Structure 1
Amino acid sequence: MDTFVPRLDERFSDPGARATPWAVTRRALEEAQLFWLTTVRSDGRPHVTPLVAVWLDEVLHFSTGPDEQKAVNLAGNPHVVLTTGRNEWDRGLDVTVEGEARRVTGRAALERLATAWAAKWDGQWRYRVTDTGFAHDGGGRALVFAVGPAKVLAFAKGDFSQTSYVPAAAAGS
């Protein structure tokens, strides 16, 4: 059963367009090579940066060094947007995930995530699990964050459509 139910926004879709099925959007999140993370600085200015992320258990996960600007921003404001897609006008699917970034510190969860990163990236992203996040072989540390989607949007191109997703539990009520 799908976790999220698609709803076509006809205002921003071609006539006759159909909502993008959740399975298609989920696959885009699972397979994406790169995401753009938007955080908010303490003075309200946005900060956008590319990073790799892992979709696991219907949640998007990313990591960052504790002294990086995005970690500093998240300490003051956990609201984020992660975006992925194609840099082309007329083909592909762009997806945005909005939510709050929450630290992941449980060792079992971090072990699963380290395994997921290594599998997704054919071993190019290998982390050692610590009590507070990940460690790199070169000695660097990384905090790990989970973003449970508060809002997901998919923008299909070619046959243009905008689809929003609501949790299946909320759609049935």
Structure 2
Amino acid sequence: MEPVTRLDRRFSADDATPTPWAEAREQLEHAETYWLSTVRKDGRPHVTPLLAVWRDGAMYFCTGADEQKGRNLASNLNCALTTGAGSLHEGLDLVVEGLARRVTDPAALKELAAAWEAKYGATWHFEVGDGVFVNVAGGAAQVYELRPSKALGFRKGRYGQTTWRF
């Protein structure tokens, strides 16, 4: 299903056009690093870089249950993943917002583990344990799906802010 796309004229150049969702989706798929924003129990934000995979209309990421982001998600599933060019005058920065959902199905985890390794190489090989990824050192990582409820695109150069609602 394609999202509803809207250019926000308040934050866009006069000649800007909305960024097509297909372009944003491709960048989400091919980006290598992302920034995950979660919320601590006391309401303070927490932001950290991580790796992620785009599959079947959602972003997937993993974290240890005892890591700050894992503890945050245990109490508040609202989060955002961000990626972009880090440049002022060119590129497209993206923010994907929504509720994270734990992935525990063994078949889904096997597919995601294969996707991780295909994207990032053998260094990021995971086995599948009891509802988690297991790394070579034996550490467990919970896997989360972030299916967008809203995404934002910030085009540089011919500045334009696009909102996609799902």
Could you say which TM-score interval applies, normalised by the shorter chain? over 0.9
Q: CA RMSD in A?
A: 1.0
The equivalences for 1:1-173 within 5 A come to 3-167=2-166
Within 2, Cα distance between the matches of 1:148 and 1:117? 17
Q: Which runs of 5+ in 2 are unaligned?
A: none
Using the TM superposition, give the Cα deviation of residue 130 of structure 1 relative to its aligned residue in structure 2, in angstroms.
Answer: 1.2
Q: Is the 8 A contact 1:12 1:162 kept in 2?
A: yes
Q: Percentage identity across aligned positions?
A: 51
CA separation in 1, counterparts of 2:122 and 2:4? Answer: 34
Divergent runs of 4+, >3 A:
none
TM-score (structure 1 length as normaliser): 0.93
Which secondary structure state, in structure 2, belongs to the residue aligned with residue 60 of structure 1?
strand
Matches of 2:161 and 2:123, distance apart in 1: 34
How far apart are 1:123 and its partner, in Å?
2.5
Contact 1:5 1:22 in 2 (8 A): no
Asked if 2 retains the 8 angstrom alpha-carbon contact of 1:98 and 1:149, the reply is yes
Unaligned runs of 5+ in 1: 168-173
Residue correspondences, number:
166
Kept after mapping to 1: 8 A contact 2:58/2:145? yes
Contact 2:35/2:47 (8 A) holds in 1: yes
Aligned to 1:86, the other structure's residue is in SS state coil
Q: What one-letter code is carried by the residue in structure 2 that aligns with 1:28?
A: Q
- Normalised by the length of structure 2, the TM-score is 0.97
Q: For the Cα contact (< 8 Å) 1:17–1:160, is it kept in 2?
A: yes
